[in-house]
Structure 1
Amino acid sequence: MYRFKKGLILIINNEQDVIRIVQEDAWMMDVLRIAQTLRLPDWWVCAGFVRSKIWDVLHGYSEATPLPDVDVVYFDPDCTDEAVEKELEKKLFAINPHIPWSVKNEARMHLINHMRPFTSSVDAIAHFTETATALGLTMNEDQQIILTAPHGIQDAVDMVVKPTPYYLQSPDRAQIYEGRVSKKNWSQVWPKLTIVHIQ
């Protein structure tokens, strides 16, 4: 169970704690409800949307760190035209133009990332660059939040940045990880982070 001190969550122990901090964030709940209106197959709002919330809470920030985008992913192997994703983004912007929506069909993203085909959105999330980023949220028909964490939540709540197993399999992949960590420069925003380097 997480504990509060003047609104500050000091400890996040498990996945249910993560779900609770999302439930108590009106903006995040609004994002999830809007994404749900698209009724996409195997949809999730993922990556920084979840990770940054955890890090903000554990740093005691009273305001959310702005996100460059809000990643909505889904899995539809029967329709992999990128133009469809752009139309879906337009629908989301029409509902709330103040959210930096980004929509991607993970049934085609393996081509962009030069990977084997994914079998689902969760499989794609498992292949995100960092374990702390490999997180996603969705809602069922009863408005219950579901969290996916293919590599667990421990690295995210321990504020450890390290690569997912895929990026440990070759020097080229390790270089992609190192380049991303360097470009993101997350320690400037969240100084309590521990960055694990592999090169």
Structure 2
Amino acid sequence: MDHLRYSGLSFEAQRAVFLDIVSQEPLIREALGRARSLALPDWLVVSGALYNSVWNYLTGKPSGYGIRDVDLFYFDDSDLSYEAEDSVIARAAPVFANLPLPVELRNQARVHLWYPAKFGRPCPRYTSSSHSLRFFASRTHAVGVRFDMDGQLDLVAPYGLDDIFSFRITPNRVLDNQQTHETKGARARENWPEITVVPW
């Protein structure tokens, strides 16, 4: 199987393949449908569950291989308290209760409040869920999908999709995230040895 067969194609061609793969992945399809039912503001299913599913498809690995959880972002700056975010997490828990993997919810409007304590450095105050993707440690990981108003899958990929289809983890140097880039890159290579990790 030629796992690089979509590498180097146009963004539109890669977009069509990407959305076709993730929409056929049962876990993602179910998570997206349930996320939509929550009607969270500016929501996005992001990152690992998406690009890992593409890598699984292209290397013939089973559904769900290497995926730890599903990351669900939303953006609500009307209440930046921990309690407000916690109440959303509690409301979502029964909706996602019987999925095979946990769903991790995070209000992207609040990240700048807890990020410095967790990572020892500041991060920007994000203006949307899509905006936060631009600051991921690896450009490869900056991808999200959601349903639009017409029920069609909407893709957010600020750095494109060629890194994903090229099995290449590329650093994003907008923040000092070298350790995260290297840690996630090493873990990915354990699961998909076809991957190349571009040095920081």
Could you say whether these structures have the same fold, taking a TM-score greater than 0.5 normalized by the shorter chain as the test?
yes
Structure 2 equivalent of residue 95 of structure 1 = 95
Structure 1 equivalent of residue 192 of structure 2 = 190
Matches of 2:58 and 2:31, distance apart in 1: 21
**Structure 2 vs 1, CA of residues 53 and 39 (structure 1 numbering), >3 Å: closer, same or farther?**
same
**Structure 2 vs 1, CA of residues 179 and 63 (structure 1 numbering), >3 Å: closer, same or farther?**
closer
Mean Cα displacement is larger for which, 94-103 or 81-90? 81-90
**Structure 2 vs 1, CA of residues 128 and 93 (structure 1 numbering), >3 Å: closer, same or farther?**
same
Structure 2 equivalent of residue 181 of structure 1 = 185
**Structure 2 vs 1, CA of residues 26 and 174 (structure 1 numbering), >3 Å: closer, same or farther?**
closer
**Structure 2 vs 1, CA of residues 84 and 54 (structure 1 numbering), >3 Å: closer, same or farther?**
same
**Structure 2 vs 1, CA of residues 66 and 85 (structure 1 numbering), >3 Å: closer, same or farther?**
farther
The residue type equivalent to 1:11 in the other structure is R
Matches within 5 A, 1:30-45: 30-45=30-45
Shift of residue 118, structure 1, vs aligned partner: 1.1
Structure 2 equivalent of residue 53 of structure 1 = 53
Matches of 2:3 and 2:34, distance apart in 1: 27
Q: Aligned with 2:71: secondary structure?
A: strand
Segments of 4+ moved more than 4 angstroms = none
Shift of residue 180, structure 1, vs aligned partner: 4.4
- 1:125-184 deviation per Cα after TM superposition (whole angstroms, max 9, x unaligned): 1111111110001102322101100111111110101211314xxxx54344334434xx
- 1:72-127 deviation per Cα after TM superposition (whole angstroms, max 9, x unaligned): 10111111222333332333331232330111111111233321211211110111
Shift of residue 9, structure 1, vs aligned partner: 7.5
Shift of residue 45, structure 1, vs aligned partner: 0.4
Structure 2 equivalent of residue 119 of structure 1 = 127
The residue type equivalent to 1:181 in the other structure is G
**Structure 2 vs 1, CA of residues 9 and 49 (structure 1 numbering), >3 Å: closer, same or farther?**
same
Matches of 2:162 and 2:169, distance apart in 1: 11
CA contact (8 A) 1:86 1:103 kept: no
How many residues align structurally? Answer: 186
RCO comparison, higher one (Cα < 8 Å, 6+): 2
Shift of residue 48, structure 1, vs aligned partner: 0.5
Aligned CA-pair RMSD: 2.1
Matches within 5 A, 1:154-169: 154-167=162-175
1:139 aligns to 2:143 (yes or no): no
Matches of 1:142 and 1:110, distance apart in 2: 32
Matches of 1:116 and 1:156, distance apart in 2: 25
The residue type equivalent to 2:114 in the other structure is I
CA contact (8 A) 2:22 2:54 kept: no
Matches of 2:17 and 2:183, distance apart in 1: 31
TM (normalized to structure 1)?
A: 0.84
Matches of 1:23 and 1:10, distance apart in 2: 20
Decide which of 5, 9, 20 is 1:11's aligned counterpart: 5
CA contact (8 A) 2:4 2:167 kept: no
